[in-house]
């Protein structure tokens, strides 16, 4: 019989309390910087930007908030890490049970049709926790999910049917997964940056892996990230590539294998902002920008998702240094006119034209 002493409980709770208090103070000091001061920040105003030519076509990308995206092409949708159940405030997370904000999920998705599929990048709560409600109450089991082993294990514990779950294996990395004649994707492995660093030492608030997941998680620490996945999405028309998107919904601390991606072939690169300044060399994302030279960039996971989900202007996510990001981008000499960062539930539409090197992207009002 295991004996738990009152002193042991007290010490554990006190350690958690002081750690939470310390990180909360840092969070408050770090989240005062508003991203509208960045040259590439956009609200919901209309935007016009030139992008690469492919053919007479269009594609929409809606930023859901956190790392979530809805990509629409030819009346078909794809979801990436959909999440609306912001938990918080931050300092309370180590101590509290978390749950899906069902009213927020349903109100933000009430007009949605079932997507072709849902791609998940890793198994943190802010990337997968809302999926069971979406699958059951919004899509009525008419979609499928792709993700790493930990993600699929957690979703099955939330009673998502096995028939809808597809675990991406190491054999599938750096290879195309064919969905239909208009769409395919390539999963790529990388390492997630720590959530913060103290005196240079990495600190993670959630586990990397757990061997056994037999019950639905109830706390943030119970959502182990697993092996992180980036994706190249390729939209096709007449067996030719129309638009390629690189998706990185977590700042990469360990190098992403991009040998399978030809330089200049990415039309839109989606980069996570949170924790960019805690990567091993602090080179992310400019190392990938310089190597891949994407035609356009969309920054996600930038806003303070420890406050309720909102369509209104947001402050920055705690611990993230936006001034450092701005400085790195200026040093990279990448054209800021091709960078976009939007408020949650804003949509950018990319229009392609048949004139050489002509295309326009517009961000309509909601």
3-state secondary structure of 237: strand
Residue 225, pLDDT score: 83
Residue 357, pLDDT score: 39
CA dihedral 67, 148, 287, 279 (to 10 degrees): 80
Domains of the chain: 6-362 (3.60.15.10)
pTM: 0.85
Tokens of 250: 């977590």
**How big is the chain by its Cα radius of gyration, in Å?**
20
**Whole-angstrom distance, CA of residue 249 vs CA of residue 64:** 13
3-state secondary structure of 302: coil
Question: What sign does the dihedral 193-198-201-206 (CA atoms) show?
Answer: negative
**For residue 205, which of 16, 40, 79, 13 has the smallest C-alpha distance?**
16
Pairing of strands 240-248, 228-237: antiparallel
Residue 139, pLDDT score: 95
Residue 317, pLDDT score: 84
Tokens of 242: 């129309």
Angle at the Cα of 234 from the Cα atoms of 268 and 279, rounded to 5 degrees: 50
* Mean pLDDT for back-to-back runs of 10 residues, the chain (366 residues): 37 49 48 60 53 64 94 91 87 75 95 94 93 96 95 93 95 93 92 72 68 76 87 88 90 75 89 83 85 92 88 80 86 87 89 52 48
Residue 17, pLDDT score: 46
**Whole-angstrom distance, CA of residue 74 vs CA of residue 234:** 13
Are 66 and 86 within 8 A, CB to CB? yes
Residue 264, pLDDT score: 83
Tally of CB atoms within 10 A around 55: 13
Strands (E) in 148-277, as ranges, are 165-167, 177-180, 183-192, 196-198, 201-203, 228-237, 240-248, 252-254, 268-272
């Amino acid at each position: 019989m295991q004996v738990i002493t009152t002193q042991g409980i007290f010490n554990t709770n006190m350690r958690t309390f002081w750690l939470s208090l310390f990180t909360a103070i840092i969070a408050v000091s770090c989240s005062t910087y508003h991203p509208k001061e960045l040259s590439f920040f956009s609200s919901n105003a209309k935007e016009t930007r030139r992008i690469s030519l492919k053919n007479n076509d269009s594609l929409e990308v809606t930023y859901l908030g956190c790392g979530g995206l809805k990509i629409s092409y030819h009346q078909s949708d794809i979801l990436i890490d959909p999440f609306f159940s912001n938990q918080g405030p931050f300092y309370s997370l180590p101590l509290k049970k978390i749950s899906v904000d069902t009213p927020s999920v349903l109100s933000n998705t009430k007009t949605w049709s079932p997507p072709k599929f849902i791609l998940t990048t890793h198994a943190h709560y802010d990337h997968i926790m809302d999926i069971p409600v979406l699958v059951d109450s919004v899509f009525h089991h008419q979609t499928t999910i792709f993700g790493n082993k930990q993600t699929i294990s957690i979703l099955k514990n939330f009673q998502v049917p096995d028939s809808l779950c597809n675990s991406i294996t190491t054999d599938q990395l750096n290879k195309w997964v064919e969905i239909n004649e208009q769409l395919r994707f390539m999963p790529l492995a990388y390492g997630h940056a720590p959530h913060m660093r103290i005196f240079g030492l990495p600190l993670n608030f959630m586990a990397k892996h757990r061997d056994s997941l037999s019950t639905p998680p109830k706390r943030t620490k119970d959502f182990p990230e697993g092996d992180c996945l980036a994706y190249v999405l390729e939209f096709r028309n007449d067996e030719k590539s129309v638009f390629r998107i690189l998706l990185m919904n977590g700042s990469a601390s360990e190098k992403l294998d991009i040998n399978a991606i030809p330089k200049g072939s990415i039309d839109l690169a989606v980069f996570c902002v949170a924790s960019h300044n805690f990567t091993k060399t602090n080179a992310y994302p400019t190392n990938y920008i310089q190597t891949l030279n994407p035609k356009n960039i969309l920054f996600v996971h930038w806003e303070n998702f420890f406050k309720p989900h909102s369509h209104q202007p947001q402050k920055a996510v705690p611990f993230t240094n936006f001034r450092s990001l701005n400085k790195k981008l200026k040093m990279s000499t990448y054209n800021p006119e091709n960078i976009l960062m939007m408020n949650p539930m804003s949509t950018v539409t990319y229009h392609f034209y048949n004139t050489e090197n002509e295309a326009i992207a517009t961000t309509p009002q909601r």
